[in-house]
Structure 1
């Protein structure tokens, strides 16, 4: 069985945060979540997450990832030896001698599933007892150095604080990603000691021990060193976010999406966008959003967990957990709140807000309207300033406006109420009763003009 151990017990002091380090987000997903998602892509059968600091929050995060993801607690506090070797020991009872065991850190959100899969295949094809993922870097400070023997196998890994001057010049470094055949990991974890500058149990020492036993340890040199970047500060978190954003935006560009300014466009990993769609600077497209072909997304548009069909234009608008049909014109500054459905060729103009509303084909709400808990038919006109008064202070009520109805400007529709087919509501009316088919409803005081009032009050200028 293929198993992965994810080290996620660290405190992350340099983050200066009350949130556990691995739960900080990179492009909308926690670092730990990114690692787990990529592990699943690499065909891992079981994932064991080692928790410690902030364990309750981390455990809660794991609930979203299925039964194949479990956790084990690493003892922390006074008397605990710490170190990567000590962390892996927390999962020892979940490993059998026939398993392939991948060890990764929970703060490396740029690792790719395909890379992890290739890494494990490399270990198997070459018959190694273990392998280390390595990278050749210009700036090697702080990394463990890879020392190889005459055959090119990894002989040992020397940590920065334990390295001599010659070893510090080595540019091939340890990524912190390992794969072991279960037998060799189980047998040798118990042989680790704290005889080092940190007084910790280093997992890297297993490499030295395997060499002393005559076993070969492979070195898998990664092609893209950016994949192994770990996060220890908010500066590094921002760097990873930028790299992942570029990776995702490049994929969409290669698939036929135009992104005018990729550096100022945020598209999260699970978003799907059809070809010939154009995304302008400032757009944020997140969650499980799906956008069809030939759309235009302009300005400060925020879309989360929504479906946008083909040939739709959205300008500087917010759309949350809703569906927008084909050929819709929206914005600027519209707000579509959850559970709304906007059907084909509708027009939602500036400062129009919908909440839990169905808005029919070819219907129009040009500006400054609120439609909540409503059902609007086809070819309906909603005038400027129209409000569906859906809340009585205790309960929400529904407004239904049928096909071809016309609601004049500044009308209040006090729910529950029905505006029937081809009915008209006069501007300025407050409607509290159903308006029947083909009727005109007017509810306002008769206008009065008082002759000469302005002059008598000495207000003529």
Structure 2
């Protein structure tokens, strides 16, 4: 049910310059969807009364993604005043005046943050009665992160030499503004906060820009609350990767590896065999039935669906595909294609969009297909291109066949019936229809329709121009080889004639002739 006392603010206004990319940072993909979409999905699961996204840089592209994920979300454009404090201030202004609940603030670049962690934060905040509750993490190398500064403690309160683990929270200091002693603090601010909305409305206007970056820091709210006599609670996360932000491509790669490992483990526990997790990548939206086997070097991308008992890989990439029960797909690149139950694809096949292979069909070695519907039990075994074609059931396309679908102006279709047998090295010049049960001879160029049950063939006499190489390529390696072969043939013929004469003479001696 909707939590009527919860509002969520998603900070998505940052420029993300460290990505060094024309693509906005939050729109770089992770497990097949934009970074920000992970955060939006988590926010949606919390079912807050209000969700507000604050945008600025590349706002139109971001808004398109945000509204797709959260159609009822509120969009706020951050003004010229920089900083997370200003972003939250504007987001609060967008909430109804009568909203008097809690405000959860999350960053749009923390895709690993899950519903369980955030729900625990909300529960801790409401049970503890603090004015603010925030997440923290302990890092071996906290460089770049804001530090949680706590009140002075005794040495006994510092387990493992970590400074400030148990003391009262006084403030958060950003890395650039920290002293040497503050930089030694291992507890970092995770950038996830839960405030009472009344406290935000009262204190946000007091934020200043007197800091190294000249911004309104939301982190300064903690010190303002402490000065006002309010309590602040910190909830350390169980694993630091849960709150890891993504600021550059190295961090994106680290997050991708961690998320992929979690996705793979989840499917393994659901009955999918992943032979080599280190070389297998699975997008978040992909789905599998039990007893699927993924072999090394396999990428399952987009909303691919793989049915029970199918074997995919090695070295295979499937993008938004459907694979039927018991199918085998190896060393194949396929996009927006359907592979039927019991079918075989590969090795070295290339399935372009709108390829549909029927049950127990085959697309074999070095075959490319595009916009091709291949019926149940039909086969394109090797070395062929099938584009803009419909093939019936039980047909066989010979090796080296080309469906010539484009005349330089328009693309046309080829229709092949059922139980057709087409010879090797055929070319089908579309538009053309081959009827049911028809055959074609090797090397045939089909330019007109073939009636059912007919044999299509091109008849042209073969001409051998003897002596052409000697006349036109004299002295070449080919000429040398040809002359040697001709000499050998002549010698063999002469030997045969001599043997025949000797045999005849011997026969005459024996018979007295």
Q: TM-score, normalised by structure 2?
A: 0.83
The residue aligned with 2:75 is: 71
The residue aligned with 1:315 is: 330
Distance in structure 2 (CA, Å) of the matches to 1:100 and 1:431: 73
Q: Is the 8 A contact 1:346 1:363 kept in 2?
A: yes
> Which secondary structure state, in structure 2, belongs to the residue aligned with residue 373 of structure 1?
strand
The residue aligned with 2:41 is: 37
Which stretch has the larger CA shift, 8-17 or 405-414? 8-17
* CA displacement at 1:225 relative to structure 2: 0.9
Counterpart of 1:356 (choices 371, 394, 402) is 371
Which stretch has the larger CA shift, 28-37 or 328-337? 28-37
The residue aligned with 2:411 is: 396
Distance in structure 1 (CA, Å) of the matches to 2:470 and 2:202: 104
* CA displacement at 1:355 relative to structure 2: 1.1
**Corresponding pairs, count:** 456
Counterpart of 1:15 (choices 1, 16, 19) is 19
1:23-172 map, 5 Å: 23-76=27-80, 80=81, 82-96=82-96, 97-148=99-150, 154-172=169-187
Cα distance change of structure 1 residues 455 and 392 upon mapping to structure 2, 3 Å threshold: closer
Distance in structure 2 (CA, Å) of the matches to 1:143 and 1:388: 59
Which stretch has the larger CA shift, 143-152 or 389-398? 143-152
Q: Is the 8 A contact 1:408 1:427 kept in 2?
A: yes
Q: Is the 8 A contact 2:335 2:351 kept in 1?
A: yes
The residue aligned with 1:434 is: 449
Distance in structure 1 (CA, Å) of the matches to 2:219 and 2:464: 93
* CA displacement at 1:66 relative to structure 2: 4.0
Distance in structure 2 (CA, Å) of the matches to 1:455 and 1:285: 54
Q: When you count helix as a share of all residues, which structure comes out higher? A: 2
> Which secondary structure state, in structure 2, belongs to the residue aligned with residue 71 of structure 1?
strand
The residue aligned with 2:501 is: none
The residue aligned with 2:227 is: 212
Gaps in structure 1 of 5+ consecutive residues: none
The residue aligned with 1:330 is: 345
Counterpart of 1:233 (choices 248, 252, 260) is 248
The residue aligned with 2:460 is: 446
Which stretch has the larger CA shift, 279-288 or 250-259? 250-259
Distance in structure 2 (CA, Å) of the matches to 1:427 and 1:173: 73
Q: Is the 8 A contact 2:348 2:367 kept in 1?
A: yes
Q: Is the 8 A contact 1:5 1:50 kept in 2?
A: yes
Cα distance change of structure 1 residues 124 and 421 upon mapping to structure 2, 3 Å threshold: same
Distance in structure 2 (CA, Å) of the matches to 1:420 and 1:315: 32
Q: Is the 8 A contact 1:42 1:114 kept in 2?
A: no
Gaps in structure 2 of 5+ consecutive residues: 154-165, 484-513
Counterpart of 2:355 (choices 334, 340, 343) is 340
Q: Is the 8 A contact 2:15 2:24 kept in 1?
A: yes
Distance in structure 1 (CA, Å) of the matches to 2:64 and 2:302: 19
* CA displacement at 1:45 relative to structure 2: 4.6
* CA displacement at 1:244 relative to structure 2: 1.4
Cα distance change of structure 1 residues 447 and 222 upon mapping to structure 2, 3 Å threshold: same
Which stretch has the larger CA shift, 421-430 or 126-135? 126-135
* CA displacement at 1:303 relative to structure 2: 0.6
Q: Deviations over 1:171-213 (max 9, x none)?
A: 3221001122322222221121223343321112222222333
Q: TM-score, normalised by structure 1?
A: 0.92
Which stretch has the larger CA shift, 150-159 or 361-370? 150-159
* CA displacement at 1:85 relative to structure 2: 0.3
Distance in structure 2 (CA, Å) of the matches to 1:156 and 1:451: 95
Distance in structure 2 (CA, Å) of the matches to 1:223 and 1:350: 49
Distance in structure 1 (CA, Å) of the matches to 2:325 and 2:441: 35
Counterpart of 1:272 (choices 264, 277, 287) is 287
Counterpart of 1:6 (choices 3, 10, 22) is 10
* CA displacement at 1:288 relative to structure 2: 0.4
* CA displacement at 1:455 relative to structure 2: 8.0
Distance in structure 1 (CA, Å) of the matches to 2:57 and 2:469: 78
> Which secondary structure state, in structure 1, belongs to the residue aligned with residue 303 of structure 2?
coil
* CA displacement at 1:102 relative to structure 2: 1.5
> Which secondary structure state, in structure 2, belongs to the residue aligned with residue 208 of structure 1?
helix
Distance in structure 1 (CA, Å) of the matches to 2:408 and 2:78: 50
User: Is structure 2 residue 200 aligned with structure 1 residue 195?
Assistant: no
The residue aligned with 2:264 is: 249
Q: Is the 8 A contact 1:303 1:320 kept in 2?
A: yes
Q: Deviations over 1:281-327 (max 9, x none)?
A: 22111110111122222232111111111111111111111111111
User: Is structure 2 residue 301 aligned with structure 1 residue 299?
Assistant: no
